[in-house]
Amino acid sequence: MARVVDTNSYHVDLAELMRIYETNYAKLNRLIPTAPEVGDVRCYQAGSLTYQLEVREVTKYTTLVEIFQDDELPVFPLPKMTVRLYHDAKVAEVCDCENASRVQARYDYPNAKMHQKDEKFQFNQFLSDWLTFCLKNGISRAPIMYRS
């Protein structure tokens, strides 16, 4: 009897996801202050785009950073993201992206909110790509102090 394999099923590649978390931690640590405090802001200019990183929370083992774009009418808008750095494990994970919080590692598809099967992976891969872009092309500048 032939075995039926579900080729549409998505399986989380935990090793790949952890690799992204680890590299995001290393990259993000290069962009935030060495000893971050709540309210610390770093601003980076990459071409004509301006990005800010703001430390929102600091605990003994974690730091929460909000990343957003400061351009009024961006051509390529960066989604507003919240990233938690876990210092004991040396990993960083996107925990909120454009109001999508508590993202699951895997979703059935289709689903009510139309999340992709690998939504968590995509958010963290996007963060990795953006951090690489910022590290290669960005220059530090004075923070923009307005906030809505």
39 falls within a domain = yes
Structure tokens at 13: 């590649």
89 falls within a domain = yes
Inter-CA distances, 104 with 55, 78, 101, 118, Å: 24, 21, 9, 9
Q: Residue 122 gets which letter from DSSP?
A: H
pLDDT value of position 105: 53
Q: Which domain holds residue 134?
A: 17-139
9 falls within a domain = no
1 falls within a domain = no
Inter-CA distances, 37 with 64, 92, 117, Å: 10, 17, 36
Q: Is residue 70 pLDDT above 90, yes or no? A: no
Q: Is residue 49 pLDDT above 90, yes or no? A: no
129 falls within a domain = yes
Q: Is residue 13 pLDDT above 60, yes or no? A: yes
**CA–CA dist 128, 91 (Å, integer):** 12
Least confident of 10-19, 85-94, 107-116, 119-128: 107-116
Structure tokens at 22: 């680890």
Q: How many domains does the chain have?
A: 1
